[in-house]
Structure 1
Amino acid sequence: MKKKKINIVTLGCSKNLVDSEQIMTRMAAAGYEPVFDSDSTDARTVVVNTCGFIGDAKEESIETILRFAQARSEGLIDRLYVIGCLSERYRDELRTEIPEVDEYFGARDLAEIVRGLGAQWRDEMPGGRIISTPSHYAYLKIAEGCNWGCGYCAIPLIRGRHVSVPMERLLDEARKLAEGGVRELMVIAQDTTYYGLDLYGRRRLGELLRALCRIDDIEWIRLHYAYPAHFPEEVIEAMAEEPKICKYLDIPLQHISDSQLRAMRRGITREETLALVRHLREAVPGIALRTTLLVGYPGESEADFAELEEFVRRTRFERLGVFPYSEEEGTYSATQLSDNVPEEVKRMRAERIMEIQNNISREENVKRVGQRLRVIVDRREGEWWVARSQYDSPEVDEEILIPADRELETGRFYEVRVTGAEDYDLYAELF
């Protein structure tokens, strides 16, 4: 009997991606054929996993729902379901505005959507998780939700409070991923550093990272979304001592001005931030720090922004992204503060930060010409093999382009020498 196909379209962050993979793993166990993010499939059932974090993400989610709603109206698909963060927050409004959708489910309703699709939800995944990424890397979500309550962030309203996944379950999942060919694990959560506090009464991220390092076939472990306040020292020690842990840390700092950090309710000061950055670079020489900044938050003055500019210039982050503030219903900033920075000023400030970062990235990349790097090959594009070093995460960071004048294997590690540099890409040849 031919398997029924289900196409799941995932928007937003890698945490959403893991949710989609978990849903499709259960559907595959029930005899369905999962398809990820395809516009050309003949699947008659579509699930849209939405993002509702900021304004642009909401707009993209709504446009995607409308596109598939039109396809359903034209008879191109039979069933359409919507899940995720946007649906969690605006389910009633969406039902009214886009009635073509068969059902809306929230971000915490994974079991319900699986049952709605006609399968059985099981907590365990005995066959291992199906991944939608290339077979050599995968995301390991170690917790759900967040306890911090930053002024601008709706995640606690959408996802609830922090809930850690038991360590034994994570290690079992990681082993199965390794057995399936995964060589690089991206450890993710809304705040990875909080891991374990709710389950064990203490933070156990450092312990978890060391345990993951003991899995033989995993060669790279990468840490994303680490909250800077009360950063666990044992995590820094693990990064310094364990060769499998990439010298890479995604640590969203948002701002450096004390007045903005207080208004954002970040629980950290300028001096504490500077001290943490110094400590990370001293303890883990060569570490690549990725950060995210937020500009145009209520009350951000010219002096606050000038302070942020100088911070970016002096700190010289290896990787950096910036977002203009977007007011989110129900958050502290939306209810207690006035969105008083004009939109054009927000955009100009974001562009200015990226202009500074572009120059930094170009200058640092030029310095890497001639260096020897260990890279993993992700894919081939035309005349180039596309690879990454331990300093770069897939989708968001730099890529290393290797001439495709000889056959390489995706998912395999190679030694290369950097031969050229651009703002956000490097060129290399096999060593």
Structure 2
Amino acid sequence: MKKNKIDIITLGCSKNLVDSEQLMKQFIANGYQIEHDPPIIDGEIVVVNTCGFIGDAQEESINMILELGAAKKSGKIARLFVMGCLSERFMKDLTQELPEVDKFYGKFNWKEMLNDLGKSYNQDLAVDRILTTPSHYAYLKIAEGCNRTCSYCAIPLITGRYQSRPIEELIEEAKILVKKGVKEFQLIAQDLTYYGLDRYKRLALPELVERLSDVPGVEWIRLHYGYPAQFPYELLRVMRERENVCKYMDIALQHISDPMLQLMRRRIKKEETYELIEQIRKEVPGIHLRTTVMTGHPGETEQDFVELVEFVKKVKFERLGAFIYSHEQGTYSHKHYIDDIPQEIKQERLDYIMRIQEGISDEISHNKIGQTYKTIVDREEEDFYIGRTEFDSPEVDPEVLIRKDKQLTFGDFYSVRITDAQPFELYGEILI
């Protein structure tokens, strides 16, 4: 056990990661040594930043807490703190059932941890953080919370009402990150497209993206987690006109049949969804759309699923993920619907969708052979440098495996010609 050292473990999404990065900056300012997701736990204090979105994530968080609780009992660590979405959602139960944890904090009150350790929160560092990502890219969280009322989603129960961060504060944070070497920004929120309505009484995402694109040193801006209803169409002009705004949109659609969209409380209809996709692709030629779809929501019939399959086949999303409905306590679905689709049917439907998508992805990837793309290099492996184009977000999208013909620098951009392809990987060579 190393005195004055804190190990921080982050579970869940990139929004949690940003919280951990901010906490790390505050700990360092207070004289602690910090290690994030260490291979070996050896700090006297351990902080677990948990996920509480769906059952599997909750189980992962609980197992991690139990493992660390056992380490504390055996004297390997001195203190154990838990923060994040799981403790925000189940604070009372967790406090009673896991007494080995010194204290639970929610998603928003983690600053109290500093006071509990006899330290203080430094307001001057409020928009600063220690990056856990490679130094050339970072996640920029533009809001907290969600005002949508989708039937299946527990996020509003955890995060509360939507709270947009001020534009000026986000510009300041981007400038600080650029000074640290960040060139690529992944804009994240529970719902990007709602940004500004609470604070400015208007859809302000287009303005925010345009102003961020004006910050010197910002090479790429990529947008994650849009919502189809009330889409800010002015954003498409910004994407089309600004070279450093990636032609990429992550917009979760979940389903396409009108009965399912109504049961899911998505506030959009099938025809409107098709019109939205058509408009996006018309106004931003070459854009890559990422979406997620859900199988097994209560009430999903075979006909609903057939419509979903036809939707995936027809639209041919450049990026698509799928997940199985989870009957989450406290959600509208949990209160009003019966979880009536057998688990094996949910899984069969998901597997079928993903087999279709693999073929679509293979076709899209092979159409890129012979094309040249601006590519950022993330890391080096034994046989290849690993990079990404503007159409590829870290962790979730395909990568470009670049032949080691030349010495490349991590975080730099290169022109890469695609020489071969697989469904979820591209192969390329550097052009002089």
Q: TM-score interval w.r.t. the shorter chain?
A: over 0.9
Q: What's the CA shift string for 1:48-73, capped at 9, x where partnerless?
A: 11111111111111111112112212
Equivalence for 1:54? 54
Aligned-residue offset at 1:216: 1.0
User: One-letter code of the match for 2:45?
Assistant: T
How far off its partner does 1:118 sit? Answer: 3.7
Structure 2 contact 22–126 (Cα < 8 Å) conserved: no
In structure 2, the residue matched to 1:278 is 278
Deviation at 1:215, TM superposition (A): 0.8
SS in 2 for 1:81: strand
Query: SS of the counterpart of 1:394?
Result: coil
Confirm or deny: 8 A CA contact 1:228 1:251 kept in the other structure: yes
Contact 2:26 2:125 in 1 (8 A): yes
User: Using the alignment, how far apart are the partners of 1:38 and 1:307 within structure 2?
Assistant: 45
The equivalent residue for 2:418 is 418
Amino acid at match of 2:378: D
- The whole-number CA distance in structure 2 between the counterparts of 1:386 and 1:118 is 44
Q: Can you give the 5+ residue segments of structure 1 that lack an aligned partner in the other structure?
A: none
- Give me the whole-angstrom Cα distance separating, in 2, the residues matched to 1:49 and 1:136: 24
1:156 corresponds in structure 2 to 156
Q: Which residue of 2 aligns with 1:245?
A: 245
Q: 1:405–1:315: structure 2 CA closer, same or farther, 3 Å change rule?
A: same
Deviations 1:9-64 (A, max 9, x none): 11111111111111111111111222111132532211111111111111111111
**1:421 corresponds to which letter in structure 2?**
A
Structure 1: how far apart are the matches of 2:191 and 2:218?
23
Q: Which residue of 1 aligns with 2:102?
A: 102
For structure 2, the 5+ residue unaligned runs are: none
Name the aligned partner's letter for residue 254 of structure 1. Q
Q: CA deviation at 1:108?
A: 1.9
1:146-178 per-residue CA deviation (whole Å, 9 max, x = no partner) reads 001111111111000000111111100000000
Residues 394-421 of structure 1: CA distance to partner in whole angstroms, max 9, x if unpaired? 0010010112343211100001111111
> Letter of the aligned partner of 1:344 in structure 2?
E
Look up the match of 2:389: 389
Quote the offset at 1:75 in angstroms.
Answer: 1.5
Q: Please state how far the C-alpha of 1:327 moved relative to its aligned partner.
A: 0.8
Deviation at 1:123, TM superposition (A): 3.9
Write the mapping of 1:125-164 to structure 2, written as runs, cut at 5 A.
125=125, 128-164=128-164
**Regions of 4+ moved over 6 Å:** none
Q: Which amino acid aligns with 1:345?
A: I
3-state SS of the aligned residue for 1:133? Answer: coil
Give the RMSD, CA atoms, in angstroms.
1.4
TM-score (structure 1 length as normaliser): 0.97
Residue 297 of structure 1 corresponds to 297
* Corresponding position: 1:206 with 2:206: yes
Q: Which residue of 2 aligns with 1:75?
A: 75
Distance in 2, matches of 1:115 and 1:170, equals 26
- Which residue number corresponds to residue 194 of structure 1? 194
Q: Report if aligned partners of 2:318, 2:361 keep a CA contact under 8 Å in 1.
A: yes
CA contact (8 A) 2:22 2:128 kept: no
Corresponding position of 1:175:
175
**Cα deviation digits, residues 372-429 of structure 1 (max 9, x gap):** 0110000111121110000000001001011234321110000111111112011101
Query: Secondary structure of the equivalent of 2:43?
Result: coil
Q: Equivalent residue of 2:226, what SS?
A: coil
Counterpart of 2:115, as a letter, is: R
Equivalent pair of 1:288/1:319 in contact (CA under 8 Å): yes
Could you tell me how far apart the structure 2 residues matched to 1:256 and 1:342 are?
21
Matched positions, count: 430
Q: Is the 8 A contact 2:240 2:284 kept in 1?
A: yes
Alignment-derived partner of residue 90 in structure 1:
90
Mapped contact 1:23–1:114 kept (Cα < 8 A): no
Structural mapping, 1:397-412, within 5 Å:
397-412=397-412
**Could you list the per-position Cα deviations for residues 88-146 of structure 1 after superposition, in whole angstroms to 9, with x for gaps in the alignment?**
11122222322211111111212223333443224442783211111000001000000
Structure 1 residues 391-400 or 68-77, which shifts more?
Answer: 68-77
TM-score (norm 2): 0.97
Residues 254 and 124 of structure 1, relative CA distance in 2, 3 Å threshold: farther
Amino acid at match of 2:36: F
**Higher mean C-alpha displacement, 117-126 vs 250-259:** 117-126
Aligned partner of 1:324 in structure 2 is 324
SS of aligned partner of 1:62: helix
Q: Percent identity?
A: 53
